[in-house]
Structure 1
């Protein structure tokens, strides 16, 4: 319980470091859609810090763990999202700014790759609330830029360098810390459904004549492709539509010129903004 409380408070601090949006997760007990008292208190405190007059839109996404049938989980996740919507109304958020309430169903996990399966399932029994604030007037940007986290006002050509999604040498396996970072990316991709992207994989430390590296898991020279594919598949497991993404490997052709471990990376390049 202390861990979940810390996680929620950390989410709040991360959210308010940004001016354009706030993200909050509410966690549920197994097979329940009513909000526990401790979660209700944390959620109420979160809403109390929001200036509702500056809210442009709110999106609510409900999730379940990987147990049970799809139809049941979609229904349960929708009920969880609806319960959170009712709480938002209670705390003064008007229905007119709530633009979507969606149950996403279950989030799959690979039990062989999770060190703590019960904790992973507990984390997936949640609702994400994404609050978008009215934008400040500013000149529209035309030159692509590089970020380390997906933002709202991206343009085609922007590059999101996932500097916390790094791989071990010769490996395309996602680490636990990488998955946590990709969970944040997935939340933002749900928030911005108009964005399409290319997942680009990279490697380091291969000879100039060998653009690609060997993946120790497959023994084939396809490491950068497999790294991109691992991120692509993980985002799909977090209910990001596969049609919004493609993936490619670029070997060692795009080094950052910094520490070698930073080249064992994946980047997201914005290919379309509708």
Structure 2
């Protein structure tokens, strides 16, 4: 196999439980294999991270805008497989690699002229996302009925959203009705409503709300839940809301990243 030259740029990020480290691997045009030298770089990275604290790894592959969709989807998947195989070969637990997705080519704006070659080179890549355990709160619960502490978060499977939307689904409203009833009984709980999105390009931290056309989809989702609970007589003095964009994927797939969570701020 012909070995290509690849450029690895490792963003030096704090591997604490409060961050989501991202490693980006840039490939030559039409290539998906790695040099021996860069294989060693990945091996060293694996040695440096505390794998006992890693919740999951997600691997996303991309291509530049040249070529047809079918070919580029295959190429991006091959790039993902290269990184996956290397991680497993070097001893990383395969069960923690939860998402493997080739996303194909990155489409450029029609009027893109300046720095075209540089832009294309940055689109020929694999993004490797490491999510640490308890990276967003002390403990994760599925109900307000649990014995909670400040810093805990509550994630509910039924409070999800359609792609690009901040409107509550029928199931989401039913779930929020139950939560409102519990909150009326447990008036000591104060919390932040945290909105999330999935599937946004790496250059953007949030998605576009198709209803408002604003790039603050996660914020709008959190605000929608805030207003709904307010309509159910939950006091605004107990609630705040904030959008967190694409910073905290769950590692369960895109559907579950279009969500809202509750973060306990006071009891």
One of 110, 132, 152 as aligned partner of 1:139: 152
Q: Under a length normalisation based on structure 2, what TM-score does the superposition of the two structures give? A: 0.53
**Which range is displaced more, 21-30 or 63-72?**
21-30
User: CA-to-partner distance for each residue in 1:129-182, whole Å, 9 max, x for gaps?
Assistant: 1111111444237533xxxxxxxxx724x8xxxxxxxxxxxxxxxxxxxxxx96
Please state how far the C-alpha of 1:15 moved relative to its aligned partner. 5.1
- Which residue is 1:44 aligned to? 43
Distance 1:143 1:199 in 2: 27
**CA-to-partner distance for each residue in 1:60-96, whole Å, 9 max, x for gaps?**
1111010000000000000100010001112221111
| Structure 1 residue aligned with 2:74 | 75
Match of residue 192 from structure 1: none
Q: How does 1:223-238 map to 2 (within 5 A)?
A: 228=214
Q: What are the equivalent positions in structure 2 for 1:1-274 lying under 5 Å apart?
A: 8-9=9-10, 11=11, 13-14=12-13, 16=15, 19-110=18-109, 112-135=111-134, 136-137=138-139, 138-140=151-153, 143-144=191-192, 155-156=194-195, 183-185=202-204, 198=209, 228=214, 272-273=259-260
- Give the Cα–Cα distance (whole angstroms) in 1 for the partners of residues 14 and 41 of structure 2: 14
| Offset at residue 20 of structure 1 (A) | 4.0
**Over the residues paired in the alignment, what is the CA RMSD in angstroms?**
3.7
Aligned residue pair count: 170
Distance 1:61 1:134 in 2: 20
Tell me: CA distance 1:108–1:37, structure 2 relative to 1, closer, same or farther (3 Å). farther
C-alpha separation in 2, matches of 1:50 and 1:37:
21
Question: How far is the alpha carbon of 1:48 from its aligned partner?
Answer: 2.1
- What is the distance in 1 between the residues matched to 2:29 and 2:36? 15
| Displacement after TM superposition at 1:101 (Å) | 0.9
Whole-angstrom distance in 2 between the partners of 1:113 and 1:59? 30
TM-score by length of 1: 0.51
Structure 1, unaligned runs of 5 or more: 145-153, 159-180, 190-195, 202-224, 233-243, 248-266
- SS of residue in 2 equivalent to 1:109: coil
4+ runs of 1 displaced by more than 6 Å? 244-247
Counterparts of 1:15 and 1:33, CA distance in 2: 28
Q: Which runs of 5+ in 2 are unaligned?
A: 1-6, 140-150, 155-189, 221-241, 246-257, 262-267
In 2, Cα distance between equivalents of 1:129 and 1:64: 15
